[in-house]
Amino acid sequence: MNGLIISALLLASGAMLLLLLVWREQKARRDVVHRLGKGEGAEKERLLREFGSSRLGQRSLNVDSETRLLLDRLGWRKSSRKSLFMVIQLGLPLLLALLVQVLLLFRDEPLTQPWIPMLFALGTGYLIPKRILASAVKKRQAQLAEDISSALPLLRILFEVGMMVEQALRVLATEGRHILPVLSDELHQLLQRVDAGLDLQSELRRTAELMDVDELTDCFVVLEQLAQQGGGAMASLLSMKKLLDERRVTNLQEKVSKMSAKMSIVMVAFLFPALLIVLAGPGFIAIVRAIGDMG
């Protein structure tokens, strides 16, 4: 117990010393930024960029390539956002470990192996942000598939009025933020790279491979062919719209069939006992009364 208390005090004192040093450094930087007349948002973003470019941040992203891919699919491609996620992923295990350490201090009987809950807290704190990130990526991919289905008629209208591929994509990126939130965000980042001098066709292919959404891949393949050939996209867009509608209807039918199976299980679990009581209850009562009269 004494060793556990000493380790907890050392951990708390080390954390307080680290927070004190960070606070003093941040105070000095805030004073400099205040004298220069810059905002605190730019200072926080700069600190996150510095952490992302540091050796610890680069090593964390290089070790876990799946996390880097998930961040790119979520749209967090700036170094400041990646650094923010790495701070959460590295800070949450330490916070949970400190919480477990504090809870162990208030136990009446000390554990024989106190390092087991510490390791469990560290592992859980490291995995929770990644699971939340994977769930957010799945939701964003589903929303992107719905945005593609809604964007195809708009693309046909824009092409019918004589716009080129890049012009139509710019209109969708600027005017479709409320209708197509996820797709407009992806198109905005894609067009930023095109404005920087990259090729539109290669960026369409790169974005489709990165997001890994079938509807987006099919749409960008048609747009890539249109940008290369310069015409003949109306029939392709129309057939793709019909294909996406049929795929959506098939998915809805599959969900309905699964829901009916689940509802049958619920019905059997909750309705069958009530039905048994209503139908067989009087018979059981009569049998019990008959047995009581015989006794």
The first and second tokens of residue 61, run together, are 């992203």
Q: What is the pLDDT of residue 34?
A: 60
The first and second tokens of residue 223, run together, are 């747009």
The first and second tokens of residue 240, run together, are 């793709």
Query: Do residues 142 and 152 touch, judged by C-beta distance below 8 A?
Result: no
Asked if the model's pLDDT at residue 15 lies above 90, the reply is no
User: What HEC string does 19-82 produce?
Assistant: HHHHHHHHHHHHHHHHHHCCCHHHHHHHHHHHHHHCHHHHHHHHHCHHHHHHHHHHCCCCHHHH
Asked if the model's pLDDT at residue 47 lies above 60, the reply is no
Q: What is the pLDDT of residue 9?
A: 64
Q: DSSP string covering 125-190, please? A: HHHHHHHHHHHHHHHHHHHHHHHHHHHHHHHHHHHHTT--HHHHHHHHHHH-TTTSHHHHHHHHHH
Q: Is the dihedral of CA 16, 18, 20, 26 positive or negative?
A: negative
Share the mean pLDDT of the chain: 79
Nearest to 136 by CA among 92, 73, 202: 73
The type of residue at 186 is E
Indicate the pLDDT class of residue 263, thresholds 50, 70 and 90.
Answer: confident
79 versus 150: which is more confidently predicted?
150
Angle at 94 (CA atoms; ends 89, 96), nearest 5 degrees: 95
Q: What is the pLDDT of residue 57?
A: 54
pLDDT by residue (tens digit) across 232-249? 667 777 788 888 888 888
pLDDT by residue (tens digit) across 133-167? 999 999 999 999 889 988 988 888 888 888 888 89
Tell me which residue has tokens 């980042």: 189
Q: What is the pLDDT of residue 132?
A: 93
Q: How far, in Å, CA of 185 to CA of 146, rounded?
A: 14
Asked if the model's pLDDT at residue 19 lies above 80, the reply is no
Q: What is the pLDDT of residue 171?
A: 92
What percentage of the chain reaches a pLDDT higher than 70? 76
For residue 135, give Cα distances in angstroms to 5, 108, 125. 39, 40, 16
